[in-house]
């Protein structure tokens, strides 16, 4: 069965960077885009961007351009999301999600990674 397992919670200071991993299993990693979505405490969902694991190509939401880097390591079926210049309003749960075949929807989700930014 398809699984996306994310790395554990992080606490970071303002200005630092955080790197969250998302390990995929149960399917051919290269064949499906991986998206990143975040959710601030008590708030809604915010799409950050996607990575094409096959080519390494990325597409970031304008809001995060210059601060976010999405990468992958196909040898271990893992996607990464790194966010730099952290601010207190970056405190959120970060989710990775896999697209559905042929449809632009987020089909399978990781369990989420809480990133807390605090001095």
Partner 1 sequence: DIQMTQSPSSVSASVGDRVTITCRASQALTSWLAWYQQKPGKAPRLLIYAVSRLESGVPSRFSGSGSGTDFTLTISNLQPEDFATYYCQQANSFPYTFGQGTKLEMK
Give the footprint of partner 1 on this chain (CB under 8 A): 35, 37, 44-47, 49, 59, 61-63, 95, 97, 100, 103-107, 109-112
Query: In the complex, what is the shortest distance from the CB of residue 115 to partner 1, in angstroms, rounded to a whole number?
Result: 15
Distance from the first to the final alpha carbon of the chain:
40
Nearer of residues 2 and 16 to partner 1, judged by Cβ: 2
Nearer of residues 86 and 93 to partner 1, judged by Cβ: 93
Q: Give the separation between CA 1 and CA 25, rounded to whole angstroms.
A: 8
Q: Give the separation between CA 109 and CA 102, rounded to whole angstroms.
A: 17
Nearer of residues 62 and 119 to partner 1, judged by Cβ: 62
Query: In the complex, what is the shortest distance from the CB of residue 71 to partner 1, in angstroms, rounded to a whole number?
Result: 19
Instruction: Give me 28's structure tokens.
Output: 């051919």
Query: In the complex, what is the shortest distance from the CB of residue 103 to partner 1, in angstroms, rounded to a whole number?
Result: 5
Query: In the complex, what is the shortest distance from the CB of residue 14 to partner 1, in angstroms, rounded to a whole number?
Result: 25
Nearer of residues 71 and 114 to partner 1, judged by Cβ: 114
Q: Provide the 8-state DSSP code for 81.
A: E
Helix-then-strand count for the chain, H and E: 0, 11
- Report CA-CA distances (Å) from 101 to 28, 69, 73: 12, 24, 21
């Amino acid at each position: 069965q398809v699984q996306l397992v994310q790395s554990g919670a992080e606490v970071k200071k303002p200005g630092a960077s955080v790197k969250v991993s998302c390990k995929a299993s149960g399917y051919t990693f290269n064949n499906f885009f991986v998206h990143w979505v975040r959710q601030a405490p008590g708030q809604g969902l915010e799409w950050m961007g996607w990575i094409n694991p096959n080519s390494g190509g990325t597409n970031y939401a304008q809001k995060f351009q210059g601060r976010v880097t999405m990468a992958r390591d196909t040898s271990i079926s893992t996607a990464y999301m790194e966010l730099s210049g952290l601010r207190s309003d970056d405190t959120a749960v970060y989710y990775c999600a896999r697209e559905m075949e042929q449809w632009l929807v987020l089909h399978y989700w990781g369990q989420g990674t809480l990133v807390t930014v605090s001095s």
